Amino acid sequence: MILSIESSCDDSSIAVTEIATKKILFHKKISQELDHAKYGGVVPELAARLHAEALPRILEQAKPFFPSLKAIAVTNAPGLAVTLVEGVTMAKALAMTLDLPLIGVNHLHGHIYSLFLEKEAKFPMTILLVSGGHTQVIEAEGYKSFRLLAQTMDDSFGESFDKVAKMLGLGYPGGPIVEAYAKKGDEDRFNFTVPLLNSPKIAFSYSGLKNQVRLQIEALGTLSEKDKYDICASFQKVATAHLLHKLKKILQKSSIRDFAIVGGASANLYLRQKVEALCREFDIQLHLAPLAYCADNAAMIGRCAIEAWQRKDFTPPEKLVSSPKQSI
């Protein structure tokens, strides 16, 4: 079995996965959303302190698995510097005390492997990664064989939902709240323009759309609940149309017949429906992670670590450092 630890942002999570069957035997996650909600976003130092309390509490429950462990895995990049180090330090201490190999996992690789929980991996695949920190399209050929096809030039997809929620005073994280508000709204009331619509660039940009929403909120002055519903619906429609517009260009040129969406924002059902329709149009098979494992979790880190274990892709404790800015 492999014990995996995730602390790259505001979720403290530990999982134990059986190597041979890929079964998740233990998975616990303590989210800090309520602690950060009053600040409208994640406060890194507060997140680090909360990880320092939560991780040992979860680890205590995983103790019965210790005699069966073959490796310790941990997210070491990318993420918040002060929170990554909480998990990395715990993983090093465990690996040295239990005399086990250590596996550093890239958080983005973990999101990709959330597609393959309790099953075999399938490549090649074109993957849209939409989270709070990233908006990327990746061509995945196999383990650690990932090519970046497109990424955001400024804000990420998930982050733009968080910022719209903050402007409307709706709380954090904004994604699920904005999606729920959008369901009750009229998506055609406000005509926000789709970013980079006339640009040949295969890239994403969300800061301009965020500003359009801010100007609309200012123009309305006092907002009724209906105004908020309509703003969320109109914003979500355009934010998603932007993704779809660029994805279409990518899929037109690709011969890969499998497509997936991963990351926290892949839980958005409106986005899922739109991408499902696009995949039908291109006769491409769509793969999605289970809803419960779209957001950050240690099970996806454990699943990726099984691939590392099979290849003996270990890192000595003195060499494992956290790399907050590392890319895919």
* Segment lying near Zn ion (by CB under 5 A), choices 116-124, 167-175, 254-262, 291-299: 291-299
* 46-58 burial: b if 16+ Cβ within 10 Å, else e: bbbbbbeebbeeb
135 binds Zn ion (CB under 5 A): no
Strand 258-262 to 125-130 pairing: parallel
| Residue 309 C-beta: closest distance to ligand KG4, Å | 23
CB of 232 to ligand KG4, least distance (A): 10
- Please work out, in degrees rounded to the nearest 5, the angle formed at the alpha carbon of residue 81 by the alpha carbons of 116 and 298: 25
User: Strand runs (DSSP E) across 240-326, as ranges?
Assistant: 258-262, 285-288
Binding of Zn ion at residue 10 (CB under 5 A)? Answer: no
Question: Are 5 and 298 spatial neighbours (Cβ–Cβ below 8 Å)?
Answer: yes
Shortest distance, position 263 Cβ to ligand KG4, whole Å:
4
**Least distance from Zn ion to the Cβ atom of residue 263, Å:** 6
Question: Out of ligand KG4, Zn ion, none, which partner does residue 110 contact, by CB within 5 to 8 A per kind?
Answer: none
HSE-up of 316 (CA within 13 Å, CB side)? Answer: 2
Which partner from the list Zn ion, ligand KG4, none does 175 bind, CB cut-off 5 to 8 Å by kind?
ligand KG4
Judged by CB, which is closer to ligand KG4: 190, or 206? 206
- For Zn ion, the closer of residues 96 and 291 by Cβ is 291
Pick one of ligand KG4, Zn ion, none as the site partner of residue 235 (Cβ within 5 to 8 A by kind). none
Identify whether the C-beta of residue 217 lies closer than 8 Å to the C-beta of residue 168: yes
Take residue 121 and report the two structure tokens written for it.
Answer: 């991996």
Nearer to ligand KG4, 206 or 309 (CB): 206
State the Cα torsion 37-39-41-45 to the nearest 10°: -110
Residues in touch with ligand KG4 (CB under 6 A): 9, 131-133, 158-159, 161-162, 173-176, 179, 263-265, 267-268, 295-296
CB of 240 to ligand KG4, least distance (A): 9
- CB 108 to Zn ion: min, Å: 8
Q: Is residue 227 part of the contact set for Zn ion (CB under 5 A)?
A: no
Torsion angle in degrees (nearest 10) through CA of 75, 81, 83, 87: 40
User: Which of 88, 141, 171, 104 minimizes the C-alpha distance to 258?
Assistant: 141
Q: With CB under 5 A, what is the number of residues at the site for Zn ion?
A: 2
Residue number with CB closer to ligand KG4 (174 or 302)? 174
Q: Per CB under 5 A, does 131 bind Zn ion?
A: yes
CA diameter of the chain: 63
Q: Under the rule (CB under 5 A), what is the footprint of Zn ion?
A: 131, 296
